[in-house]
Amino acid sequence: MSLAGGLATWMEPLQAADLASLTTGPSGTPIILSTWRHGLPANDRAVEVLNAKGSVLDAVEEGVAVVESDLTNRSVGLGGRPDRDGFTTLDACIQDHDGRAGAVAFLREFEHPIKVARAIMDRTPHVMLVGNGAEQWALANGFTKRKVDIPEVRKAWKEWLKTSDYKPLVNIENHDTIGMVAMDANGKLAGSCTTSGLAYKVHGRVGDSPIIGAGLFVDGDVGAACATGTGELVIRTSGSHAVVEMMRNGVEPEEACERAVRRILHKHPGLKGHQVGFLALRKDGAHGAYSVYKGFDYALTKEGRTQLADAPYMMEWD
């Protein structure tokens, strides 16, 4: 199957026979990709879960939960920077091989939004709960609140209020996410995504991370993708869904990530200073990454080893 046939080939959906040929069979060991350096401990935890015979869905949930618990992290979990009104609000989603999904958005004072998202998937007929409704549901379903006050975070927010300058900093930890896509030794896929979102966002703002198709998309017939960076850009282009659909149509994972980045730039001419990065994992174990700017790294677990990898990129930020 030629994957380098240009636009015409890209636009033509794969035939069933081609799709079948994508399945070269599971690698025999899990493959896990997660965004940024904070993905390293997350991948390690995901491997532990798989080694203990947990499902790949459990692995992506438990993996990113490690980062949610890290109160030194300023873009994920309760240690995340607040919105412009001083509230840290959390977004997360999870999706399994068969497309079942759960998501929560605009949640406050819960340590593990990813676990709330998983519970919404498992225990309700819905995909997403938000805000007060999500909070009430979580409390009624065994989750407890945790209040965290981090003086350094409060001080930085008060400092920010002096100018209220609304500018994400490329690759600086003020606007990122942990997204994870994983495949177990039997070829089952799952993904997760969790964030405190854009620092100093408007109260009520929800980014791409809890939106299935934007921050995360998993289709066990094809592969999985997740995103990090300026959520508005990812939502407008259904970024992770676009990556998976391109892979469905025969585009290699890295190329699919690059095309999703190019699409964002094409739709936003002149856009500067916004990082977006994608990770993709195809069902045969092929994987790739790509970002707008240099500096997006990700944790890659493969053949029993976890390491940090640098994503290819479109341009440098100075």
Distance in Å, CB of 196 to ligand GLY, minimum:
8
SS (H, E, C) the chain: CCCCCHHHHHHCCCCHHHHHHHCCCCCCCCEEEEECCCHHHHHHHHHHHHHCCCCHHHHHHHHHHHHHCCCCCCCCHHHCCCCCCCCCCEEEEEEECCCCEEEEEEECCCCCHHHHHHHHHHHCCCCEEEHHHHHHHHHHCCCCCCCCCCHHHHHHHHHHHCCCCCCCCCCCCCCCCEEEEEECCCCCEEEEEEECCCCCCCCCCCCCCCCECCCEEEECCCEEEEEEECHHHHHHCCHHHHHHHHHHCCCCHHHHHHHHHHHHHHHCCCCCCCCEEEEEEECCCCEEEEEEECCCEEEEEECCEEEEEECCEEECCC
Q: Which of 77, 84, 72, 106 is nearest to 157 (CA)?
A: 84
**194 is a catalytic site residue:** no
Give 129's strand partners: 104
Distance in Å, CB of 242 to ligand GLY, minimum:
15
Largest CA distance in the chain: 60
Nearer to ligand GLY, 81 or 112 (CB): 81
Question: One of 35, 88, 177, 230 is an active-site residue; which one?
Answer: 177
Using alpha carbons only, give the angle 272, 276, 278 rounded to the nearest 5 degrees.
Answer: 150
Nearer to ligand GLY, 30 or 179 (CB): 179
Distance in Å, CB of 279 to ligand GLY, minimum:
13
Interacting residue ranges for ligand GLY, rule: CB under 6 A: 177, 195, 197-198, 207-209, 228-231
The Cα 124–Cα 29 span in angstroms is: 32
Distance in Å, CB of 206 to ligand GLY, minimum:
8
Distance in Å, CB of 20 to ligand GLY, minimum:
34
Distance in Å, CB of 33 to ligand GLY, minimum:
16
Catalytic residues: 177
